[in-house]
Structure 1
Amino acid sequence: DGGANLSHTDETLVEMSNGCICCTLRDDLLDEVRRLALEGRFDYLLIESTGISEPLPVAATFDFRDEGGGSLSDVARLDTMVTVVDAVNLLNDFASHDFLRDRGETMGEADERTLVHLLTDQIEFADVVVLNKVRDAGPERTDAARKIIRSLNAEARIIETDHSDVPAEAILDTGLFDFEKAHEHPMWAKELYGFADHVPETDEYGVASFVYRARQPFHPEKVQELLNGDMPGVIRAKGHFWIATRPDWVAEFSLAGSLSSIAPLGQWWASVTEARRPDHDSAR
């Protein structure tokens, strides 16, 4: 965490190294953005984080206020979240079981993230996805990468290119970022609650999605066998479920690529007594 520093070049490029802009370098980022904004010489600022950073904490940094009450949102507007995807390697990486440490890319010794979950987080949160190296990837791999991206994020603009050659107007001043909905995963949430308004992936990309609902609890052994078994062709799955042996327990299932997990989230509201429920509407 220590030793974070800033280095300046003649091109008004500010490099922030040896730290994380979501935590150890957050104050430095606030100071630098405020300084650049007050100079009045710049219309746009491009913040490039490390390739293994998660986009949501970076975006949340704009809501952070320092001890003096200052915030990035006072001097700058978060406009667009951009994720660059390697068309050559996405298909193999998405099927990988590698942890980031297996690739020599971690945020520290305690970093237990997997490559596929990082890719999923970065794609699902993006307003714009730059699909790079399409010439090297060829039509088939590019098409497969496009389908994965679209199945994870139904709304993101996809720009296919080589050498990361992207026109400035495609990623600057787009007005695409919406923090109120960005903390959710728009693809599965919209499909889940029926608010999706886009061309079905079945028609456009050959990728289908569906939602399963049931009023009866699952048999614990049968659902475990299903969820821990092979699911060929499934790119992303997420949801809450109910098992008969633990009727009060909310379980969450998440699958991304070839990796899946089941975790407890707490109790169903139906099992919580009225006296223990919050009395403010926002929590109900």
Structure 2
Amino acid sequence: MSTRPITTVAPSPVDRRPRVTVLAGFSPHATEAVARSLLVTDPRLLLVRHDLTRVRDGHVRRIVRTATTLLEDETVHLVHGCVACTLSEDVLPTLVRLSRTHPASDVILALPGVVEPESLARCAAGAPVRFDSYVTVVEADGFLDELSTTDDLRDRGLHAADEDRRSVASVVARQVEYADTIVVWGRPDHRTETMLHHLAPWATQLRVGDTTTIDCTGLAARVRGTGRHDPRKPGLLGRALEGYPIGVHDPGDSMLFRARRPFHPQRLFDALPELTGEALRGRGQLWLATQPDVAIGWESAGGGISLTSLGYWLDALDAERWDEASDLRRLAADLDWDPYHGDRRTVLAFIGLDGDADDLTARLTDCLITDDELAGGSEARAGISDPFAGFFPVDPEED
């Protein structure tokens, strides 16, 4: 018999703070219907929502209620009228306050239709609020139309600030992609179901509103108290850097493109109009031959494209700075390290293809630098024409 002393591990403290379930969705009707369906199942449950109709004038209406009682209906005056100000100046303070004044009440936070849940998650980083799940409500009827429209929010009078130039398609896509749970309101066709799966293969999908009655208790059991939200998971553009999947390869509807050599900036620039029209949604990371230090995020939707700096590749940093990256990112880099390129790699997902996946792969491959250009070394690549020069600062003070 072993004579070693028995050691005990203290159990982790139980988090008894109220749980916040975040509801996002571009359709106010569907999101409100799901919120009210959840509200009637628990008399202590609180519903918080904000009306952004006058946000550009610096006014936001906050409503807090239970299933039977209106607790608050106030107009909040903001210093600057925008979504970020609303989240930081009122939404988060309201959640913190309610968790203290109503410690026995969980909260449903119904975001306005133009708010992306990842924006809330960024603002909430480190806040003393217990986010249980991020749920996106999708109205089956019209979802594909919104995902394929070329309208901007401004075209519909929905922009949340004068400088808000987001497209409808990008907002709809981001709301679905960040969700850990998707509630489909109505009766989706096969195409809609497929698109939702490819946009967010990591999310749990539920369907309601396709019959004359709604099982509110059953819906609440599958949406509330799931603990599906992982606050450590990065935003979508940073997921490939940390080894998370960003899509599935299904040549009929979606594809993944991977490469361990950089893009030729001029050829990529010239091909952008064709590439953005090949799929309803594109996302991921890439690198350019003329800017080898910076990882570049790619987003395309509604016929438009956004390219943004994701910071330095680890291989471009001194080893002592690697601790600035997360454990998962360092692990992902180590598992896929290239002796020549380090952790530099392109990973792009294209969803809702309107063409041939093999043809799109060939077009992207044609935009990469050639063997001869690669053999020329960094000095030769530095002389390549770069239409993206200066677009991707990695110094936060320059961004």
TM-score bracket relative to the smaller structure: 0.7 to 0.9
2:255 aligns with one of 194, 209, 219: 209
Is residue 87 of structure 2 the alignment partner of residue 22 of structure 1? yes
1:4–1:24 CA contact under 8 A, matched in 2: no
Compute the RMSD of aligned alpha carbons.
3.5
2:112 aligns with one of 50, 63, 78: 50
- Work out the CA distance in 1 between the residues paired with 2:62 and 2:294: 48
Contiguous gaps of at least 5 residues in structure 2: 1-54, 331-399
Aligned pair count reads 254
Secondary structure of 1:79 counterpart: strand
Is residue 310 of structure 2 the alignment partner of residue 262 of structure 1? no
Change (3 A) 1:16 1:80: farther
Is residue 284 of structure 2 the alignment partner of residue 238 of structure 1? yes
2:263–2:288 CA contact under 8 A, matched in 1: yes
Cα deviation, 1:75-123, whole Å, max 9, x if unaligned, reads xx21111111121211111111211111111222222211111112111
Is residue 192 of structure 2 the alignment partner of residue 150 of structure 1? no
Secondary structure of 2:110 counterpart: coil
Is residue 246 of structure 2 the alignment partner of residue 184 of structure 1? no
How big is the shift at 1:53? 0.8
1:252–1:264 CA contact under 8 A, matched in 2: yes
Cα deviation, 1:45-93, whole Å, max 9, x if unaligned, reads 211111111112323454455xxxxx3x3xxx21111111121211111
2:281–2:299 CA contact under 8 A, matched in 1: no
Which structure would you say has the larger RCO, counting Cα contacts within 8 Å and 6 or more residues apart? 2
Map of 1:162 onto structure 2: 209
Matches within 5 A, 1:95-174: 95-134=148-187, 142-162=189-209, 165=214, 167-174=219-226
Structure 1 range deviating more: 250-259 or 93-102:
250-259
Structure 1 range deviating more: 101-110 or 220-229:
220-229
1:80–1:174 CA contact under 8 A, matched in 2: yes
Secondary structure of 2:254 counterpart: coil
AA in 2 matched with 1:159? L
Secondary structure of 2:194 counterpart: helix
Structure 1 range deviating more: 83-92 or 13-22:
13-22
Secondary structure of 2:257 counterpart: coil
1:131–1:159 CA contact under 8 A, matched in 2: yes
Cα deviation, 1:226-251, whole Å, max 9, x if unaligned, reads 233144245323211223x4455544
- Work out the CA distance in 1 between the residues paired with 2:197 and 2:73: 33
- Work out the CA distance in 2 between the residues paired with 1:118 and 1:63: 21
Cα deviation, 1:2-54, whole Å, max 9, x if unaligned, reads 555655665255456556551221323321332111xx3x3x32111111111
Structure 1 range deviating more: 228-237 or 87-96:
228-237
2:118–2:235 CA contact under 8 A, matched in 1: no
Cα deviation, 1:227-283, whole Å, max 9, x if unaligned, reads 33144245323211223x4455544432235322334556655556x4xx7646234
1:218–1:242 CA contact under 8 A, matched in 2: yes
Percentage of matched positions with identical amino acids = 23
Change (3 A) 1:16 1:126: farther
- Work out the CA distance in 2 between the residues paired with 1:8 and 1:218: 51
- Work out the CA distance in 1 between the residues paired with 2:249 and 2:71: 40
AA in 2 matched with 1:254? E
User: What TM-score do the two structures reach when normalised by structure 1?
Assistant: 0.73
Change (3 A) 1:163 1:154: same
AA in 1 matched with 2:119? P
Change (3 A) 1:52 1:3: closer
How big is the shift at 1:130? 1.4
Secondary structure of 2:107 counterpart: coil
| Higher Cα radius of gyration | 2
Cα deviation, 1:170-204, whole Å, max 9, x if unaligned, reads 210111111111x3329x946x87665x9x6639x
2:149–2:169 CA contact under 8 A, matched in 1: yes
Is residue 69 of structure 2 the alignment partner of residue 11 of structure 1? yes
- Work out the CA distance in 2 between the residues paired with 1:176 and 1:266: 28
AA in 2 matched with 1:255? S
- Work out the CA distance in 1 between the residues paired with 2:296 and 2:322: 25
Map of 1:281 onto structure 2: 323
Change (3 A) 1:13 1:84: farther
